[in-house]
């Protein structure tokens, strides 16, 4: 009722203002946009996941486990919220986390709530390369413990959360949680053999590991006849060519080239032999063997932009020889 009582005088004041015969145009409304730091979190975690926890070091739950689900979504603030629930031999967990970017301190702030324990600030987080690290201190059994959550091996399909705690130089806590992405349409874990599978997601400059994941995702899409999966790793304005043949322009065209809804007439099979990446130039090279009607061995140069393939230029030779015989004695 207090908010309503303050609203009434405001309406009276506004109604008392003179009305002009010509109303000034309203300023164009601009939608709220996340900061680059928050966009990076959204790119990494947004969506639904299955979770599996393993208690490796614990005073009371060592060797125990639990499974459940988690979801991340954007919320006002601009913040990222995780809702988490799991159960098993390690007991039940209901968990909520809110993360936001502190532009003054240049760190992520975190608020967590668990079971019936209320909510509390949980230190701060920052990126260390491709790993997001949250660190804080707590009192455990009368001793100050240093705790750390590390989000590692982050990919569109999965990541791991390694939670560790130490006191007086001794590890007192270690729990590893595996997150597997769940497709929002099918509801199936994306590392199962069911389709559709999760695609590539835009990101900042990528590491060698992330480049390898993108290239493996393209191969997985071709090998499973999943044009959507393979095309998801290419930018909207991607250029795909095999000189001197005509280039395919754009993700939509590539989706159809890779088979579209119906898939290609015959199965494709792609095997990477070597993948090399320059993170400064965001350019990578791959040696491969490809089978479709005939077998070819080849090399492709790839340019990445915002974590997706912008340019793909391949050169290949038709050969019935297996890769090991094709390269002869020049092995490395």
Confirm whether 5 is domain-assigned: no
Number of C-beta neighbours around residue 208 at 10 A: 14
Given a contact cutoff of 8 angstroms between Cβ atoms, the answer to whether 221 and 214 are in contact is: no
Confirm whether 27 is domain-assigned: no
Instruction: Tell me, yes or no, whether 176 and 215 share the same domain.
Output: no
Q: Which domain holds residue 74?
A: 36-182
- Label residue 39 left, alpha or beta by phi (over 0 means left) and psi (-120 to 50 means alpha): alpha
Q: How far apart are CA 217 and CA 242, in angstroms?
A: 20
Q: How far apart are CA 310 and CA 282, in angstroms?
A: 10
pLDDT of residue 109: 95
Given a contact cutoff of 8 angstroms between Cβ atoms, the answer to whether 88 and 65 are in contact is: yes
Instruction: Tell me, yes or no, whether 175 and 212 share the same domain.
Output: no
Instruction: Tell me, yes or no, whether 217 and 312 share the same domain.
Output: yes
Cis peptide before 217 (omega within 30 of 0): no
Confirm whether 1 is domain-assigned: no
Q: How far apart are CA 58 and CA 175, in angstroms?
A: 8
Give residue-wise pLDDT tens across range 264-278.
989 999 999 999 999
Given a contact cutoff of 8 angstroms between Cβ atoms, the answer to whether 53 and 65 are in contact is: yes
pLDDT of residue 187: 35
pLDDT of residue 16: 39
Instruction: Determine the distance from the C-alpha atom of residue 162 to the mean position of all C-alpha atoms in its chain, rounded to a whole number.
Output: 17
Q: Assign residue 288 the CATH number of its domain.
A: 3.10.450.50
Beta strand 170-182 with 119-128 is: unpaired
Whether 72 has a pLDDT exceeding 60, the answer reads yes
Task: Give the end of a domain, one of 182, 200, 218.
Answer: 182
Q: What percent of the chain lies above the pLDDT cut of 90?
A: 53
Instruction: Tell me, yes or no, whether 166 and 246 share the same domain.
Output: no
Instruction: Tell me, yes or no, whether 101 and 165 share the same domain.
Output: yes
pLDDT of residue 323: 93
Confirm whether 188 is domain-assigned: no
Instruction: Tell me, yes or no, whether 228 and 298 share the same domain.
Output: yes
Instruction: Tell me, yes or no, whether 53 and 174 share the same domain.
Output: yes
Confirm whether 142 is domain-assigned: yes
Residue with the bigger pLDDT between 204 and 103: it is: 103
Q: How far apart are CA 10 and CA 73, in angstroms?
A: 35
Lowest mean pLDDT across 63-72, 138-147, 310-319: 138-147
Whether 194 has a pLDDT exceeding 70, the answer reads no
Confirm whether 24 is domain-assigned: no
pLDDT confidence bin for 182, thresholds 50/70/90: low
**What is the rounded average pLDDT of the residues 112-124?**
92
Confirm whether 101 is domain-assigned: yes
Angle at the Cα of 113 from the Cα atoms of 145 and 34, rounded to 5 degrees: 105
Tokens 């928050």 identify what position? 38
φ/ψ of 61, rounded to 5, equals -125, 20
φ/ψ of 254, rounded to 5, equals -65, -40
φ/ψ of 220, rounded to 5, equals -65, -40
What domain count does the chain have?
Answer: 2
Q: Assign residue 50 the CATH number of its domain.
A: 2.40.128.20
Helix (H, G, I), strand (E, B) or coil at 46: coil
Q: Which of 232, 211, 220 is nearest to 271 (CA)?
A: 220
Task: Give the end of a domain, one of 166, 182, 198.
Answer: 182
pLDDT of residue 327: 93
Instruction: Tell me, yes or no, whether 319 and 232 share the same domain.
Output: yes
Confirm whether 156 is domain-assigned: yes
Whether 199 has a pLDDT exceeding 60, the answer reads yes
Return the structure tokens found at 267. 């199965």
Give residue-wise pLDDT tens across range 16-52.
333 333 444 454 444 568 899 999 998 899 888 888 8
User: What mean pLDDT, rounded, does the chain reach?
Assistant: 84
Task: Give the end of a domain, one of 147, 182, 217.
Answer: 182
pLDDT of residue 197: 57
Angle at the Cα of 258 from the Cα atoms of 287 and 303, rounded to 5 degrees: 45
Instruction: Tell me, yes or no, whether 175 and 275 share the same domain.
Output: no
Instruction: Tell me, yes or no, whether 44 and 154 share the same domain.
Output: yes
Q: What is the b/e burial string over 214-237, where b = at least 16 CB atoms within 10 angstroms of the residue's CB? A: bbebbbbbbbbbbbbbbbbbbbee
pLDDT of residue 142: 76
pLDDT of residue 67: 86
What residue ranges in the chain does DSSP mark as E strands? 47-57, 65-75, 79-88, 93-102, 107-114, 119-128, 131-140, 143-152, 158-167, 170-182, 234-241, 248-249, 269-278, 283-292, 294-305, 308-318
Given a contact cutoff of 8 angstroms between Cβ atoms, the answer to whether 226 and 194 are in contact is: no
């Amino acid at each position: 009722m207090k908010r309503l009582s303050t609203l009434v005088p405001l309406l009276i004041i506004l109604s008392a203002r003179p009305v002009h015969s010509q109303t000034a145009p309203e300023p164009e409304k601009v939608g709220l946009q996340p900061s680059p730091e928050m966009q990076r979190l959204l790119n990494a975690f947004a969506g639904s996941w299955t979770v599996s926890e393993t208690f490796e070091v614990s005073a009371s739950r060592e060797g125990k486990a639990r499974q459940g689900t988690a979801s991340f979504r954007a919320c006002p603030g601009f913040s990222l919220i995780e809702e988490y629930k799991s159960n098993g031999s390690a007991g039940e967990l209901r968990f909520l986390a809110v993360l936001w970017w502190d532009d003054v301190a240049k760190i992520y702030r975190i608020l967590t709530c668990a079971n019936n324990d209320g909510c509390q600030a949980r230190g701060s987080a920052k990126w260390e390369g491709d790993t997001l690290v949250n660190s804080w201190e707590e009192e455990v059994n009368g001793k100050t413990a240093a705790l750390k959550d590390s989000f590692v091996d982050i990919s569109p399909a999965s990541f791991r959360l390694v939670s560790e705690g130490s006191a007086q130089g001794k590890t007192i806590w270690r729990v590893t949680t595996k997150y597997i992405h769940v497709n929002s349409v099918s509801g199936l874990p994306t590392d199962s053999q069911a389709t559709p599978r999760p695609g590539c997601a835009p990101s900042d400059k990528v590491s060698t590991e992330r480049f390898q994941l993108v290239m493996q995702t393209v191969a997985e899409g071709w090998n499973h006849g999943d044009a959507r999966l393979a095309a998801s790793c290419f930018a909207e304005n991607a250029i795909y060519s095999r000189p001197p043949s005509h280039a395919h322009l754009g993700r939509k065209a590539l989706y159809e080239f890779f088979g579209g809804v119906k898939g290609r007439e015959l199965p494709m099979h792609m095997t990477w032999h070597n993948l090399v990446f320059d993170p400064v130039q965001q350019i990578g090279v791959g040696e491969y063997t490809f089978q479709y009607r005939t077998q070819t061995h080849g090399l492709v140069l790839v340019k990445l932009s915002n974590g997706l393939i912008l340019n793909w230029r391949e050169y290949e030779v038709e050969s019935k020889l297996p890769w090991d015989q094709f390269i002869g004695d020049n092995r490395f």
